[in-house]
Amino acid sequence: MTTIDKLEDVQGIVFSGYNKYMANCSYYLLKIDAAAKTKSWLKNLVEQNQITHGADKATAETENRISLAISYSGFEKLQLDQDSLYSFELSFREGMHSEHRSALLGDRGINDPSQWQWGSGGNSVDLLFILFSKNDAIHSASCKYHEKAFKGAGLSVVQRLDAGQKKQNDNGFAVEHFGFADGVSDPLVDGFPTTSGTGDIATGEFLLGYPNQYDGKLTKMPQLGASGDALGKNGTYLVLRQLKQDVGAFWAFMEEEAARQGITADYLAAKFVGRWKSGAVVEPDQDTDPNKVDNSFNFTKDPHGQGCPLGSHIRRANPRSVGLGATEAESLKVANRHRILRRGRSYGSFLANPAQDDGNERGLLFICLNANIERQFEFVQHTWINSVKFAGLYDEDDPLIGSAVEDNRNFTIQDLPIRRRVCGFQQFVTTKGGSYFFLPSLSALGLLGGS
Ligand code: HEM
């Protein structure tokens, strides 16, 4: 079992999305206008213990949690020397909006960075400041306080994204806008305080400075001049994407198509996701939600996708023990080299009637953490979610969130005696903004601030 050197040095969001006590959350996307002022603000934040660390457990009394991440342009503006800048991984240096990375991620057509609300062109961002609060009153006072502090810190707000209403199901899981339990499957990470015993996934997949899952070695860390590993150690990369969900179109299509096929809309939607609304995985010969959630499956009882379809969202996002190698162990080994830690929240209000749109924007502020953006987030998005040749399929991408096929999209539901095909549907999720960030340790933030 790996031991994390100092939990006090790791930002708390690595271990928790603060869903239990923090009802409110705002994501501030900031631009640095005066680096010297920003540095002294950074120094104060760290010295006054305002950035939440991993040993600081939230309770019902805790008022706020704060996380801070920096983009490549942010590090440039904080005047890191060229060698230090170059020590970050290529995907981070190029940026999510760049020609190459956006093509790789499937951000084309309606998802193209030229159409984003932030994250590209004049709306690129240097810092991500995430403020969580216990309730509305505390949140509005805290937002006011920090917005004033940003002004004094030479920072301007490019965009403030507020996480929306929170909804929970009977099993205690947060519910996303399509109506499904979210946050059911998170990797059990070795050495994390939230994992009892030895975890399945190496610490170094999510925290730099520890052996990784790929080859048991240390993933390359960003370096800070004479301070060396101090910039990278206990830090990780953070991916943020604003993903708009077209809930009305999704459920209107489910109802229409289900009626045509003589099945229920909930059954069809569950096949798209691979889980029922409750969070239970769809198993073969199941017509309704069993309402029992257990994440300890690996698809070996459903090798052909007759329960959880081969091309469904969760099977693409984490194929587990089937399909990636000659044996189950080999497949799991491959799958586990491409895991991500999700920490996002929904934004916008929930629709009263999901099949009837109200014209307001809603979706997911998708956040994931990973030690290597290219091998983890980008691989999942490109090679699994957006692959039209995934698992022997040939003309379809992830039916829930894929963007490889623009229109007239297809989805195959494996079944006996014959498979079902769902055809002619649109993209239900659109990228509205995004950026790669680095989430430094607290000591690294101190160094950047000039401590
Ligand atoms: C609006 C966009 C999205 C929606 C509505 C959505 C919805 C869901 C739902 C309902 C689940 C099942 C419950 C759970 O385990 O949390 C899930 C699982 C998952 N999603 Fe997404 N998701 C979205 C975007 C993404 C993106 C962009 C990625 C990565 C590129 C991703 C990766 C995953 C992973 C890794 C899992 C867990 C799979 C497993 O281990 O079983 N999702 N998602």
Ligand 1 touching residue 281 (CB < 6 A): no
Ligand 1 touching residue 184 (CB < 6 A): yes
Q: Which of 105, 107, 185 to mutate to test the pocket of ligand 1 (most atoms within 8 A of CB)?
A: 185
Q: How many Å apart are CA 314 and CA 320, to the nearest integer?
A: 10
Instruction: Output the CA torsion 357→360→363→367 (10° steps).
Output: 180
Q: How many Å apart are CA 181 and CA 178, to the nearest integer?
A: 9
Ligand 1 touching residue 278 (CB < 6 A): no
Q: How many Å apart are CA 180 and CA 436, to the nearest integer?
A: 27
Q: Which of 254, 289, 313, 343 to mutate to test the pocket of ligand 1 (most atoms within 8 A of CB)?
A: 313
Say what the pLDDT of residue 286 is: 96
Ligand 1 touching residue 380 (CB < 6 A): yes
Tens of each residue's pLDDT in the chain, 451 residues: 889 989 999 999 999 999 989 999 999 999 999 999 999 999 999 999 999 999 998 889 999 999 999 999 999 999 999 999 999 999 999 999 999 999 999 999 999 999 999 999 889 999 999 999 999 999 999 999 999 999 999 999 999 999 988 899 999 999 999 999 999 999 999 999 999 888 899 999 999 999 999 999 999 999 998 889 999 999 999 999 999 999 999 999 999 999 999 999 999 999 999 999 999 999 999 999 999 999 999 999 999 999 999 999 999 999 999 999 999 999 999 999 999 999 999 999 999 999 999 999 999 999 999 999 999 999 999 999 999 999 999 999 999 999 999 999 999 999 999 999 999 999 999 999 999 999 999 999 999 998 7
Ligand 1 touching residue 381 (CB < 6 A): yes
Terminal CA-to-CA distance of the chain, rounded, Å? Answer: 33
Say what the pLDDT of residue 226 is: 87
Ligand 1 touching residue 378 (CB < 6 A): no
Q: How many Å apart are CA 180 and CA 280, to the nearest integer?
A: 10
**What is the Å distance from ligand 1's center to 290 Cα?**
20
Which residues does 158 contact at the CB level (< 8 Å), separation at least 6?
Answer: 29, 30, 31, 118, 123, 124, 125
Q: Which atom of ligand 1 is nearest to the CA of 180?
A: 10
Distance of CA 449 to the CA centre of its chain: 27
Say what the pLDDT of residue 198 is: 83
Q: How many Å apart are CA 33 and CA 291, to the nearest integer?
A: 51
The two beta strands, 24-32 and 155-162, are antiparallel
Q: How many Å apart are CA 251 and CA 361, to the nearest integer?
A: 16
Distance of CA 209 to the CA centre of its chain: 22
Contact criterion met (CB below 8 Å) for 429 and 363: yes
Would you list the domain boundaries of the chain? 7-164+206-237+439-449, 243-433
Q: Which of 296, 401, 403, 432 to mutate to test the pocket of ligand 1 (most atoms within 8 A of CB)?
A: 401
Q: Which atom of ligand 1 is nearest to the CA of 429?
A: 1
**What is the Å distance from ligand 1's center to 215 Cα?**
26
The pTM of this model reads: 0.98
Say what the pLDDT of residue 395 is: 95
Q: How many Å apart are CA 179 and CA 272, to the nearest integer?
A: 13
Place of tokens 């806008």: 177
Say what the pLDDT of residue 405 is: 94
Q: Which atom of ligand 1 is nearest to the CA of 183?
A: 16
Q: How many Å apart are CA 381 and CA 187, to the nearest integer?
A: 17
**What is the Å distance from ligand 1's center to 253 Cα?**
20
Angle between helices 265-273 and 247-261 (to 10 degrees): 120
